[in-house]
């Protein structure tokens, strides 16, 4: 009698699939403590009647607010309360998948690229790691890419399932995480020293003068 065994790589893939399904089924809960402090968790609070809520928003940047001015009213309200920022790198397939998800759902987002040493150091300070992609939805940080997880937080924030972006909407170009410093202007060339003035000798006067009665020339 032969016992059929599941190959280890296939078993790991099945376990990973189950784990992703479990994450998808969970909600994000807004918990207000006795001191009024608000926290968010994927575990329900003691109050079973609590409803899943979106993460706490952060104040949007002025540039993002201006870019959202032409959006439909409801989408503009969501984007203002829960702005989305995506941090990407070169040759990063998960970064492309995250970008495609946001674009397919019509989520206005800001993209920041991480390529220089300064970018990497800034990402480390911001997220606590150097892994990409990295994203923020309001105050919620998302490390790595899981379509189920990202969709869950986008749903909680109130972003529509299907794009509502105007046809003429253009996604702003990606910019480096750390702004590139402009080249310093070359030092001003010191002015050339002025040529020494040449003193013109007094004209020679032939013949006797009051100070030289004999007219002797030296």
Structure confidence by residue, pLDDT tens digits, 40-68? 555 666 654 544 444 444 443 444 444 55
The dihedral of CA 158, 161, 165, 171: what is its sign?
positive
CB–CB of 80/73 below 8 Å? no
pLDDT over 70 at 184, yes or no: no
Cis peptide before 133 (omega within 30 of 0): yes
pLDDT of 185 > 90? The answer is no
Considering the chain, what is the average pLDDT of its residues? 74
Chain CA centroid to CA 23, Å: 27
Give the span between the Cα atoms of 9 and 144, in whole angstroms. 21
Alpha helices in the chain (DSSP H): 8-25, 62-67, 73-81, 93-105, 117-127, 147-157
Q: What are phi and psi of 157, to 5 degrees?
A: -75, -20
Strands 38-41, 84-88: pairing is unpaired
Confidence check: pLDDT of 187 > 90: no
- Contact (Cβ atoms closer than 8 angstroms) between residue 65 and residue 57: no
C-alpha gyration radius of the chain: 36
Query: Which of 6-10, 28-32, 69-73, 89-93 holds the top average pLDDT?
Result: 89-93
* pLDDT tens by residue, 133-146: 999 999 999 999 99
24: left (phi over 0), alpha (psi -120 to 50) or beta: alpha
Q: What is the pLDDT of residue 23?
A: 36
CA distances from 188 to 159, 185, 192 (A): 54, 8, 12
Mean pLDDT of 188-199: 66
Which pLDDT score is estimated for 180?
76
Token digits for 30?
């807004």
Give pLDDT, residue 18. 33
How far apart are alpha carbons 95 and 97 in whole angstroms? 5
102 CB-near residues (< 8 Å, 6+ apart): 84, 86, 109
**What CA–CA distance (Å, rounded) separates 142 from 145?**
8
- Tell me which of 9-13, 138-142, 187-191 is least confident: 9-13
Structure tokens at 216: 């002797």
pLDDT band, residue 110 (cuts 50/70/90): very high
């Amino acid at each position: 009698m032969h016992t059929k065994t599941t190959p280890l790589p296939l078993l790991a893939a099945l376990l990973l699939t189950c784990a992703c399904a479990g994450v998808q089924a969970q909600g994000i809960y807004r918990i207000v403590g006795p001191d009024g402090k608000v926290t968010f968790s994927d575990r329900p609070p003691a109050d079973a009647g609590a409803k899943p809520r979106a993460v706490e928003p952060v104040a949007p940047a002025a540039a993002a607010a201006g870019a959202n001015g032409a959006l439909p009213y409801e989408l503009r309200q969501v984007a203002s309360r829960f702005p989305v920022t995506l941090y990407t790198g070169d040759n990063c397939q998960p970064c492309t998948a995250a970008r495609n998800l946001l674009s397919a759902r019509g989520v206005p987002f800001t993209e920041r690229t991480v390529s220089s040493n300064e970018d990497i150091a800034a990402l480390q300070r911001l997220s606590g790691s150097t892994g990409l992609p990295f994203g923020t939805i309001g105050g919620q940080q998302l490390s790595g890419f899981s379509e189920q997880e990202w969709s869950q937080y986008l749903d909680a924030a109130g972003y529509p399932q299907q794009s509502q972006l105007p046809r003429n909407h253009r996604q702003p170009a990606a910019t480096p995480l750390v702004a590139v410093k402009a080249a310093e202007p070359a030092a001003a060339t010191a002015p050339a020293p002025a040529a020494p003035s040449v003193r013109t000798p007094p004209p020679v006067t032939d013949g006797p003068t009051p100070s030289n009665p004999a007219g002797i020339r030296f």
